[in-house]
Structure 1
Amino acid sequence: MMTDVLVAHSTEVERAEFYKKTYLHVALSILAFIGVETILLKTVPVEIINLMFAQNYTWLLIIGVFWLASMLASRWSLSQSKSTQYFGLGFYILLEAVIFLPLIYMAAGTAGGAVIYQAAMLTIAMFAGISAIAYTSKRDFSFLRNIIIIGGFLSIGLIVAGAIFGFNLGLWFSVGMVILASASILYETSKLKDTYTTGQYVGASLQLFASIMLLFWYVLRILMSRRS
């Protein structure tokens, strides 16, 4: 049964079960993303994939739709309804698969499939390390919230400016975004117990999945730039 008890106020057994279910859903979300991405790569015509990044304004439109839809999915993740949480998670996985389509296509075609595997392994290792810090450290990471919000708006502004004026944001922007994504994972992990009830593990997994995918995006871009 779903309960309204905040994870921080639950018993040790309930808390352990919440974390177990949350990370299981994160793993399943990653597997689902891989499956959907594979299907899209095999079914979406190359011409459509090229259109996604051939025009700067087309890419801006895609990012805009993705941002709005992400906000909606995040709102669904906080619902007490399990079905709404699952709908939000599934919807977000599909969004991520679409937004990643041109990048994965380029990585597989120009840098070789090995770079995707390397980026995935590096992302998983970083996620595991950051999560360990969040759980073992007794520090309060709430101060990261404002940094993440400001950094997020700055990055969006730079991405929009780059698309409009046609300049490349370069390697250091990707490095900065990896730092921002890492901070987001640290913050999201540390506040799980204070944000969600024991029945909201699906929604909690969505937030962690979103941060992991942001990290993966820019780790992959860095590795691709080193091979180009």
Structure 2
Amino acid sequence: MKTDVLVAHSSEMEKADFYKKTYLHVALSILAFIGVETVLLKTVPAEVITMMFGQRYIWLLIIGVFWLASVLASKWSLSQSKSTQYLGLGFYILLEAVIFMPLLFIAVNVAGANVIFQAAMLTIAMFAGISAVAFTSKRDFSFLRNIIVIGGFISIGLIAGGIFFGFNLGLWFSVGMVILASATILYQTSKLKDSYGTEQYVGAALQLFASIMLLFWYILSILMSRRN
């Protein structure tokens, strides 16, 4: 049985293999998300999708379930069992596809499908750039952890407040969330070697995939707001 060691303590060859497998699984996760989302948008009735963003309390319930399930998926991602890691990743991809349904439905029917492509390209470009900074910079990005945690709680509070009281969070909230998602990617990428073993590349991919999808959500939201 292959011994799993922390990536930071592994050989250069093992590190390279870990990163290659991690980013391959990130790419496969994105492709799986596209496939699942396409099926959902074609099979789920428009009335059901409309209800998701038309009823504020249903949307709040969905976000709550999503948050709890995300915590569970994150715990699975740190498992030593490869099958449990895959279960967490697959479960999270399905959750993301459900959460994204209303936004993509609106994007296609109001702003046009081209805006989705533009948001995807911007997300990939930003992710590649941030990853390059994390790998090439000698800086310690540990200070971002507290900023990300505090920013996350503030954003959840604002989202819940917007749902309860019916106010629009606006463009600047989306810009702030893009910055928060970018900081999360930078922090997570720089800490992959200290958080995961060489055989936990599926779990590492889940963490990066989650941050990419958050970044994509708010970039798409910004582009859609410019079309209105």
Q: Same fold (TM over 0.5)?
A: yes
Structure 2: which amino acid aligns with 1:204? A
**Cα deviation, residue 196, structure 1:** 0.2
**Cα deviation, residue 2, structure 1:** 4.3
Partner of 1:227: 227
Q: Does 1:37 align with 2:40?
A: no
Structure 1: which amino acid aligns with 2:160? V
Q: Does 1:28 align with 2:28?
A: yes
Q: Map 1:1-228 onto structure 2 (within 5 A).
A: 1-228=1-228
Structure 2: which amino acid aligns with 1:161? G
- RMSD over equivalenced CA pairs, Å: 0.6
Supply the distance in 2 between the matched residues of 1:4 and 1:19 (Cα, whole angstroms).
15
Structure 2: which amino acid aligns with 1:133? V
% identical aligned pairs: 81
Supply the distance in 2 between the matched residues of 1:124 and 1:13 (Cα, whole angstroms).
26
Residues 54-88 of structure 1: CA deviation (Å, up to 9, x unaligned)? 01111100000000000000000000000000000
Supply the distance in 2 between the matched residues of 1:42 and 1:151 (Cα, whole angstroms).
35
Kept after mapping to 2: 8 A contact 1:76/1:88: yes
**Cα deviation, residue 135, structure 1:** 0.3
Kept after mapping to 2: 8 A contact 1:50/1:102: yes
Superposition TM-score, scaled by structure 2 size? 0.99
Supply the distance in 1 between the matched residues of 2:22 and 2:193 (Cα, whole angstroms).
11
Supply the distance in 1 between the matched residues of 2:158 and 2:12 (Cα, whole angstroms).
44
Aligned to 1:79, the other structure's residue is in SS state: coil
Residues 195-224 of structure 1: CA deviation (Å, up to 9, x unaligned)? 000000000000000000000000000000
Kept after mapping to 2: 8 A contact 1:3/1:197: no
Supply the distance in 1 between the matched residues of 2:145 and 2:39 (Cα, whole angstroms).
36
**Cα deviation, residue 142, structure 1:** 0.6
Supply the distance in 1 between the matched residues of 2:183 and 2:145 (Cα, whole angstroms).
9
Residues 115-137 of structure 1: CA deviation (Å, up to 9, x unaligned)? 00000000000000000000000
Structure 1 unaligned regions, length at least 5: none
Supply the distance in 1 between the matched residues of 2:15 and 2:148 (Cα, whole angstroms).
27
**Cα deviation, residue 46, structure 1:** 0.5
Q: How many residues align?
A: 228
Supply the distance in 2 between the matched residues of 1:174 and 1:184 (Cα, whole angstroms).
15
**Cα deviation, residue 4, structure 1:** 2.3
Aligned to 1:157, the other structure's residue is in SS state: helix
Superposition TM-score, scaled by structure 1 size? 0.99
**Cα deviation, residue 3, structure 1:** 2.7
Aligned to 2:100, the other structure's residue is in SS state: helix
Supply the distance in 1 between the matched residues of 2:2 and 2:126 (Cα, whole angstroms).
32
Structure 2: which amino acid aligns with 1:116? I
Residues 4-26 of structure 1: CA deviation (Å, up to 9, x unaligned)? 21000000000000000000000
Structure 2: which amino acid aligns with 1:194? D
